[in-house]
Chain A
Amino acid sequence: MKRIDLLVAAIAMLAAPAAFAADDTITIGMTQSQTGSLNVDSVAQYRGFEIWRDEVNGAGGIAAGGKHYKVKFVSYDDQSQGGRVQQLYTRLIIQDKSDFLFSPYSSGLTATAAVISEQYGKIMIITGGAEEKTYTLGNKYLFQVITPAGHYLSGALEALHSKNPKARVAFVYSDDPFSKAVVSAARDQAKEAGFDVVLDESYAPSTTDFGPVVNKIISARADALFGGGHYPDSATLARQVYDQKANLKWESLLVAPGDAKFASLGKAALGVSTGSQWELPVKFTPQFGPTGTEFAKKFEAKYHIAADYHSASGYAGAMILQHAIEQAGSVDPEKVAAALNKTDATIFFGHIKFATDPGDHGMQIAHQMVVAQWVEDNATLSRQVVWPRDAASAPLLYPIPSH
């Protein structure tokens, strides 16, 4: 009996590879925040990666240099904490023998992962880390697909300027690397634009009660509020601003309004805007890959929720890596890095090009963000693109109601 079992097993093992058209596998390593405060957006980002991988493998793998490579992911939970990231990425490189890496979600975690990827000379595609500092330390293998932090609020500031150039502006933001980088650039831009900056304060990321700081916003008689941080605090700030009737005419918060869940805040969400890396209404004509509408449809069919910009970033980053491998005709890190450095393409996500100077290598220099705002249509809340005007899908809502 045993002999036959062995024989069957042997035949099965020999037959199995023939089922794949692939000659080889590429391993891509990453960590996700399955637990912890970054969970919501990290999972969204991962879904973008996942849907790309399934598509690529379904089509037979990535074609490079006459071979076909199937894609395999290895991922671990970083618990939204930097402490484990380095150990996990080292493991991904040494034990799991990853060929390429995707970044974790958030600038803080990405910065610490980047140290490891550079130490071992592995390419890391960054779809969730916007802070610029990471790219100024002299790297060779980091490639940022999303617009850097400094631009997150520029569109929103421009939009405000078009309606009220003399507005009194308040900056209230989370004391974390990403939000600080965003506001540092936004502050300069606000001053140059001639706005009156009446409040400028950061809060601890773990803050639960924004009551005191909202009172400060009211005391400062601010017309507009810019800031927030990641999902939990931006959402709470939005709610409390509404509860305390801060009388704002304009409110742009980071990250949270970009998520479909933000609608659960009800009236508090109305009129709140955010800088978004990608919104469905903005239609680019892609040189390769799906259009925005096609991507959104595929995503919704698989996950039964609307795609947000985090998922789109994940998918875009993966696509760009694939494109570079195909262009290089090889999976050799040096050749792929060279191909990435030469990339200058438009995909559903927008125009992608990387900085190549050693001083800021890898930073994204072509992609633009849009301003998305929650508006009401027949008592239903939806998120629309309101800026820049030529990409808008709805008129700018100013002043925002009952704030």
Chain B
Amino acid sequence: MSLFGIIASIIDGLLVGSVYGLAAMGLTLIWGVMDVVNLTHGSMIVAGMFALYLLTTALGISPYATLVPVLVGGFFVGLALYWIAVHRVIGRPPLMSLLSTFSVNLVLLGLGTALWGTVLFNVPVSLPSITWQRYTFPGTHILAAVLTAVIAACLYLFLYRTRLGKAIRAVAGNRQAAELVGIPTTKVLALAFGLGVALAGVSGMLIATLFPFTLLSGDAYQLKSFIVIVLGGLGNPTGALLGGIALGLLEGLVTPFIPVSWTLVIEFALFVVVLVAFPGGVFTGKRA
């Protein structure tokens, strides 16, 4: 493959990788704040995809105008999920929260299948693209990356510059201490969960502007999210973004040289190796 091809691959990998990072940010936030692995994460990404599809076909609005509604809607769905499945299992062994979110995921998948089946949905989005040396970077990829950066920046500002954000970080650091200083921890936990789900939903919405999807698409992105947060370190949203970009970079670097079908093997091998060698995440410099 020519040098231009490799560079194009890398750039595209970075663009798509940033969206992987956004998808993972919600997962890592929830994990970091309340030590819960949200196994409905994949379904929430799919929900965002469906929201894009339904809103654009029913209301005929521009795809990118759905961003804010999806964020807001996702937040409230997250709140509801928290109260249904997570509230009672906070503080209990991790198996319990794994299973409770997992079971809700089964229910959501079952309902979704009954309602929509597993057919392919496509939201056509046409934007001008940039062509360079015979390689094209679709405008949708570029815009998705830009929006991801904006959302990540907003999240950062929220967590570090607002009182509520501080409260979330406090609860993440030491829940008992936060409780003692008067922070209403339950409310904060619910809010953090809502935020995490909102992020998952909006990443789904952005992904749906790039690729077609089915009800089952969430699975693949959930697995990628796991890989990303392992790279980036739990509870570290910036790390998640970097991890996503790293994953995209890896995919872009590796595919020109080896058959595409080996990409998954490499990703999973990397996943296990990183987990074992850097349990605290590659980008945090922590060791377990």
| CB <8 Å contact, B135 and A218 | yes
A213 neighbours in B (Cβ, 8 Å): 255, 260
Q: Take A212-B9, A215-B9, A243-B140 as given contacts and tell me if A264 and B122 are in contact as well, using a CB distance cutoff of 8 Å.
A: yes
Minimum CB–CB distance for A370 against chain B, Å: 24
Asked whether A358 is an interface residue with its Cβ less than 8 Å from the other chain, the reply is no
Q: In the bound complex, how far is the Cα of B87 from the Cα of A13, in angstroms?
A: 57
- The stretch of A35-43, A130-138, A274-282, A314-322 in contact with B is A35-43
Number of interface residues of A (CB under 8 A): 36
| CB <8 Å contact, B8 and A215 | yes
Asked whether A24 is an interface residue with its Cβ less than 8 Å from the other chain, the reply is no
| CB <8 Å contact, B124 and A265 | yes
A244 neighbours in B (Cβ, 8 Å): 135-136, 138
Q: Take A232-B120, A235-B120 as given contacts and tell me if A216 and B256 are in contact as well, using a CB distance cutoff of 8 Å.
A: yes
| CB <8 Å contact, B212 and A40 | no
| CB <8 Å contact, A37 and B255 | no
Asked whether B176 is an interface residue with its Cβ less than 8 Å from the other chain, the reply is no
Indicate which residue in A212, A239, A245, A264 contacts B255 across the interface (CB closer than 8 Å).
A212
| CB <8 Å contact, A208 and B122 | no
B136 neighbours in A (Cβ, 8 Å): 243-245
Asked whether B157 is an interface residue with its Cβ less than 8 Å from the other chain, the reply is no
| CB <8 Å contact, B214 and A232 | yes
In the complex formed, the residue of A with least CB distance to B127 is A243
Asked whether B216 is an interface residue with its Cβ less than 8 Å from the other chain, the reply is yes
Asked whether B217 is an interface residue with its Cβ less than 8 Å from the other chain, the reply is yes
Minimum CB–CB distance for A163 against chain B, Å: 22
A175 neighbours in B (Cβ, 8 Å): 261
Q: Mark B125-139, 1 if CB is under 8 A from A, else 0.
A: 000010100111010
Q: Take A35-B117, A247-B134 as given contacts and tell me if A239 and B122 are in contact as well, using a CB distance cutoff of 8 Å.
A: yes
| CB <8 Å contact, A37 and B118 | yes
Q: In the bound complex, how far is the Cα of B224 from the Cα of A207, in angstroms?
A: 12
B129 neighbours in A (Cβ, 8 Å): 243, 245
B residues 1-55 in Cβ contact with A at 8 Å: 1-2, 5, 8-9, 12-13, 16
Q: Take A175-B261, A202-B260, A235-B212 as given contacts and tell me if A216 and B124 are in contact as well, using a CB distance cutoff of 8 Å.
A: no
B9 neighbours in A (Cβ, 8 Å): 212, 215
Q: Mark A209-241, 1 if CB is under 8 A from B, else 0.
A: 101110110110000000000011001100110
| CB <8 Å contact, B260 and A236 | no
Q: In the bound complex, how far is the Cα of B210 from the Cα of A175, in angstroms?
A: 23
Asked whether B211 is an interface residue with its Cβ less than 8 Å from the other chain, the reply is yes
Between A37, A212, A236, A240, the greatest number of chain B beta carbons within 10 A of the residue's beta carbon is seen for A212
Asked whether A66 is an interface residue with its Cβ less than 8 Å from the other chain, the reply is no
Asked whether B119 is an interface residue with its Cβ less than 8 Å from the other chain, the reply is yes
A residues 159-186 in Cβ contact with B at 8 Å: 175
Q: In the bound complex, how far is the Cα of B8 from the Cα of A244, in angstroms?
A: 11
Asked whether A204 is an interface residue with its Cβ less than 8 Å from the other chain, the reply is yes
B251 neighbours in A (Cβ, 8 Å): 209, 212
Indicate which residue in B8, B124, B210 contacts A266 across the interface (CB closer than 8 Å).
B124
B118 neighbours in A (Cβ, 8 Å): 35-37, 39, 80
Minimum CB–CB distance for B40 against chain A, Å: 19
| CB <8 Å contact, A206 and B261 | no
Asked whether B220 is an interface residue with its Cβ less than 8 Å from the other chain, the reply is yes
In the complex formed, the residue of B with least CB distance to A213 is B260
B261 neighbours in A (Cβ, 8 Å): 175, 201-204
Minimum CB–CB distance for B10 against chain A, Å: 10
Indicate which residue in B5, B113, B120, B124 contacts A231 across the interface (CB closer than 8 Å).
B120
B131 neighbours in A (Cβ, 8 Å): 245
In the complex formed, the residue of B with least CB distance to A245 is B136
Asked whether B93 is an interface residue with its Cβ less than 8 Å from the other chain, the reply is no
In the complex formed, the residue of B with least CB distance to A244 is B136
B residues 180-229 in Cβ contact with A at 8 Å: 210-214, 216-217, 219-221
Q: In the bound complex, how far is the Cα of B190 from the Cα of A227, in angstroms?
A: 47
Asked whether B264 is an interface residue with its Cβ less than 8 Å from the other chain, the reply is yes
Indicate which residue in B13, B210, B211, B255 contacts A216 across the interface (CB closer than 8 Å).
B255
Asked whether A261 is an interface residue with its Cβ less than 8 Å from the other chain, the reply is yes
Indicate which residue in A35, A212, A236, A264 contacts B13 across the interface (CB closer than 8 Å).
A212
A235 neighbours in B (Cβ, 8 Å): 120, 122, 212
Minimum CB–CB distance for B244 against chain A, Å: 13
Between B16, B120, B140, the greatest number of chain A beta carbons within 10 A of the residue's beta carbon is seen for B120
Q: In the bound complex, how far is the Cα of B112 from the Cα of A35, in angstroms?
A: 11
B263 neighbours in A (Cβ, 8 Å): 204, 212
A residues 26-46 in Cβ contact with B at 8 Å: 35-37, 39-40
Indicate which residue in B2, B12, B141, B214 contacts A212 across the interface (CB closer than 8 Å).
B12
Residues of A with Cβ closer than 8 Å to B? Answer: 35-37, 39-40, 80, 175, 201-204, 206-209, 211-213, 215-216, 218-219, 231-232, 235-236, 239-240, 243-245, 247, 261, 264-266
Contacts A39-B119, A212-B252 aside, 12 further interface pairs with beta carbons under 8 A come to A202-B259, A204-B263, A206-B220, A209-B211, A211-B13, A212-B260, A212-B263, A213-B260, A215-B256, A218-B135, A231-B120, A243-B129
Residues of B with Cβ closer than 8 Å to A? Answer: 1-2, 5, 8-9, 12-13, 16, 113, 117-120, 122, 124, 129, 131, 134-136, 138, 140-141, 210-214, 216-217, 219-221, 251-252, 255-256, 259-261, 263-264
A-B contact pairs, 14 of them (CB 8 A): A35-B113, A37-B118, A37-B214, A203-B260, A211-B13, A215-B135, A232-B214, A235-B120, A239-B122, A239-B211, A243-B129, A243-B140, A245-B136, A261-B120
Top-5 shortest CB links A-B: A212-B255, A219-B5, A245-B136, A219-B1, A243-B138
